[in-house]
Amino acid sequence: MKMEKERCLSALSVGEEGCVRALLCDGGIRRRLLDIGLIPGTKVVCIGRSPLGDPRAYSVRGKTVAVRAVDAAKIII
Amino acid sequence: MRKRRCEEKREITVALAGNPNVGKSTLFNSLTGMRVHTGNWAGKTVGCAAGFFETDKYRVRLVDIPGTYSLFSHSEEERIARDYISFGKSDITVVVCDSTALEQNLNLALQITEIGGRCVLALNFSDEARKKGIEVDSQRLSEILSIPVVKVVAHKKKSLDALKSLICSLYEAGDISSPRSPVYIEPIERAAGEISSVIRDTGRDGALSRWLGLRLMDADGDFFDELLSDFSREERERAEEGAARAAKILGESGISREELSDIIVERLVEDAADIAKEVTLRKGKDERDRRIDRILTGRFTAYPFMLVLLFLVFWITLSLANIPSELLSRLFVFLEGILTEVCARIGVPDVLHGALVLGVFRTLGQVVSVMLPPMVIFFPLFALLEDSGYLPRIAYNLDRPFACAGACGKQALTMCMGLGCNAVGIVGCRIIDSRRERSLAAVTNSLVPCNGRLPMMITLISVFYLFLMPRANGALTALTLMGFIVLGVAMTFLSTAILSKTLLRGERSSFIIELPPYRRPRFISVTLHSLKDKCLSVLLRAISVAAPMGLIIWIMANVYIGGESLIAAVADFLLPFGRLMGLDGVILLAFILGIPANEIVVPLIIMIYSASGAIGADMGVEAVSAVFANAGWTPVTAICATVFSLFHWPCSTSLLTVYRETKSKGLTAIAFILPTVIGILLCIFINFASKLFV
């Protein structure tokens, strides 16, 4: 049951998962995100939050990566 | 049996590449043993370290390249890695992969095999993989990639024999089969083919030509030139024509420059995922890291844990350092006695004896005995924390406050390094991606006290308490010290925030870090390597920087002008400034002369007060307190002195390091001015406040 409404990665709460659909950024940050495997079609799971809420930890292709909310907002899932 | 003389062995260069956190440096250390000349201070490879190991036939020069996720990215570290690997500076490339996270690691592996050339894939952490229930079919992987694959456990030297012999046999192998390159969609293959066929006609290797074709399509000006740097003018023209034809094909297929990059990266990621899936026979389930992280990064437990850890590290460092410091001190006194004897025997004039033995040698002794023990305890502790995988969690936990101040969580790590030695912390700023944030971290690094200043601060705090109560209280001193360190941290945040809005304004960078799996740190090898690294650099600094200052101090103390020694004269001159700050001229002068090494500040103060011609041997706190009281110190003086020891100009090594890292005189000036101004203002404030209220 896919939600048709566009959500971004930062909206995922701990334990929720999503699938990357698009990246709304370019340049160095885009390259970086693609390099760690956040290409369209990748499953992402939010597995934790830091003590002050931001950044959050995500599981991507077997690795755990921390991303700030402001950057996660550019990843559409 | 007669020993055979060492023949000249053939030297081969092997590059060690891989993602960050895959154990490359461990592998490097295990292979090269202690025979390393590394320019690496930060515990994280931030430049190419080179070392050697020998096999029967060869002398292998091993180059440890900074960890990178891909060869395409734009950060400084990744550019270094890319340049080294792409431009064929090594005979063989060993790609180190983490067996427990193969999918991620294969991305880089594929990019490297695409270049062609001789590669070996080393599957590290194979013991961890087994424990987690993960099994990788290295045979199948080798078949798919067409390169040799070997399982290793980086810290176990025995497991490395297979790797060593593979390197040798690969070097000797005449014909090598082309390693795997992913297949891209048709328009891209066709476009790349336009360029690669032209290049192949110049006689270059097939795999390399294909790789050049792919990269030239996407390359910007500088990279384009670099790729064609060893092409003749005619070859270059033909390559450029091919590139134009390729661009046309892509344009016709509706693929823009950005889309081209995306498609290529996506293909690599997907290919890596497919291969990983095929060769991973069993996938383990591991909840351990998540459980640990729930405590170490949990909402209510993360910060308390960090504070406790900080306290523990300090407590261990400072209490364990006491005895070696004492012993070293005695050793130097003993050696000095010998030197004096020798001087007397061979009839060295008093002046020379004074200058060299009482001036230079004593200063050297003071610096080494105070500075060396804490550092050789602190840095191994720090290295152990890093080995365990905890350090990125510190950056993760503290990113929010740093982001609010306009910086990023990695600054927390450089601050931690700065607690050991500010110069090391400043070099460590290389781990920060954005130049602006790197500068912020570098110029504020001296706001946290380093190991050289901590003993001084402890002495001053103890003196303060001795003025108020009959006996020194260790626990109170320790707590106060912690308070000062917290003050330093708070000031770091404040300065970072202000600088971000004024002198060092700019874009917020993105902060993406990997939280690696927790690993049991390898106590012995980590400690030994850290010890060797740090001992050497500390001793070198002491000799090169403190020794000359020792000479200057002795001269100043023993040259008399108008009945007064030079040093006393300058102290008198500085008196009014000192008084303003709640100090006196002597204290101020001692801090100024202590620029090369903070360890000599307190001995200097004592020396000038007692009008002796040389720095004295170490005294206990009670004796120091008596000398200070005699010279007119009040509790306020002690507080101001402690505050100033926390906030004053960075030591000369740190300043030079800031300049070397940032290459900017302006930033170095800020690094000098910032803590100084904070210190002066705070001291003036405390001085006047005390006059009003006390």
The residue to which tokens 């993360």 are assigned = B302
How much is the pLDDT for B562?
81
Predicted local distance difference test score (pLDDT) of residue B75: 67
Of the partner residues A39, A61, A64, the one whose CB lies closest to the CB of residue B515: A64
C-alpha distance from A2 to closest chain B C-alpha (Å): 23
Burial class (CB in 10 A: 0-12, 13-18, 19+), B222: exposed
The list of chain B residues with pLDDT below 70 reads 1-7, 34-47, 73-76, 174-175, 284-285
CA distance B41 to B334: 32
The percent of chain B in helix, strand and coil, each rounded to the nearest 5, is 65, 10, 25
pLDDT, position B2:
42
Short-list A74, A54, A51, A52, CA closest to A66: A54
Residue A29 and residue B401: Cβ atoms within 8 Å? no
CB proximity under 8 Å: B 70-99 to A:
70, 72-75
Shortest Cα–Cα distance, A61 to chain B (Å): 7
Average pLDDT value over all residues in chain A: 87
What pairs with residue B97 in β-bridges?
Answer: B123
For residues B605 and B586, the answer to whether their CB atoms sit within 8 Å is yes
What are B585-589's contacts with CB under 8 Å, separation 24+? Answer: B586/B631, B587/B637, B587/B641, B587/B644
User: Can you say whether the dihedral through the CA atoms of B610, B616, B617, B621 is positive or negative?
Assistant: positive
Which pair of tokens denotes residue B432?
């920060």
Residue B105 distance to chain A (closest CA, Å): 9
Tokens 């079919």 -> residue = B137
Q: Is any Cβ of chain B less than 8 angstroms from the Cβ of A8?
A: no
Which residue's entry shows tokens 């790590």?
B413
Contact (CB<8Å) A31/B511: no
* Residue in B104, B290, B300 closest to A63 by CB: B104
Phi-psi region of B269 (alpha: psi -120 to 50; beta: other; left: phi over 0): alpha
Using the beta-carbon criterion (under 8 Å), do A28 and B74 form an inter-chain contact? yes
**Do A63 and B299 lie within an 8 Å CB cutoff?**
no
Q: Residue B549 and residue B552: Cα distance in Å, rounded?
A: 5
Contacts B403 to A, Cβ<8 Å = 54, 68
Contact A57/B at CB under 8 A: yes
Euclidean distance between CA atoms B565 and B259, whole angstroms? 75
Contact: B511, A51; criterion CB under 8 Å: no
- Is B269 an interface residue toward A (CB < 8 Å)? yes
Q: Give, for B394, the enclosing helix (H) or strand (E).
A: helix B391-404
Comparing CB atoms, the residue among A47, A50, A70 nearest residue B397 is A50
C-alpha distances out from residue B192 to B36, B243, B363, Å? 42, 8, 66
- B509 phi/psi in degrees, rounded to 5: -90, 170
Q: Can you tell me the distance from the alpha carbon of B615 to that of B599, in angstroms, rounded to the nearest whole number?
A: 12
State the pLDDT at residue B171.
86
Query: Are B427 and B46 contacting, i.e. CB atoms less than 8 angstroms apart?
Result: yes
Question: Is the distance from CB of B113 to CB of B177 less than 8 angstroms?
Answer: no
Structural contact between residues B591 and B691, judged by C-beta atoms closer than 8 angstroms: no
Interface membership of B508 toward A (CB under 8 Å)? yes
Quick check: helix, strand or coil at residue A3?
coil
- The pLDDT tens digits of the residues spanning B526-571 come to 787 777 777 777 778 777 888 888 888 888 888 888 878 888 889 9
Q: Which residues of B touch A51 (CB under 8 A)?
A: 297-300, 302-303, 397
B125 near A CB under 8 A: no
The residues in B 519-558 lying below 8 A from A, measured between CB atoms, are none
Alpha-carbon gap, residue B29 to B35, rounded angstroms? 9
Query: Structure tokens of B99?
Result: 């067996």
Nearest to A47 among B107, B290, B399 (CB): B290
Cβ contacts below 8 Å, chain A against chain B, sum to: 118
Closest Cβ opposite residue B510 in set A34, A37, A71: A71
Q: What are the distances in angstroms from CA B456 to CA B136, B188, B438, B480, B492?
A: 54, 65, 29, 13, 21
Kindly provide the ipTM of the predicted complex, given to two decimals.
Answer: 0.93
| DSSP 8-state assignment for residue B22 | S
Chain B window 34-53: which residues touch A at a Cβ cutoff of 8 Å?
none
**CA B315, B318, B321: angle at the middle one, nearest 5?**
135
Contact A62 B511 (CB under 8 A): no
In angstroms, the CA B538 to CA B302 distance is 33
The stretches of chain A forming alpha helices (DSSP H) are 28-35, 69-72
**A52: chain B residues, CB-CB within 8 Å:** 400-401
Encode pLDDT of B11-62 as tens digits.
889 999 998 888 888 888 888 875 544 433 333 444 577 888 888 888 898 9
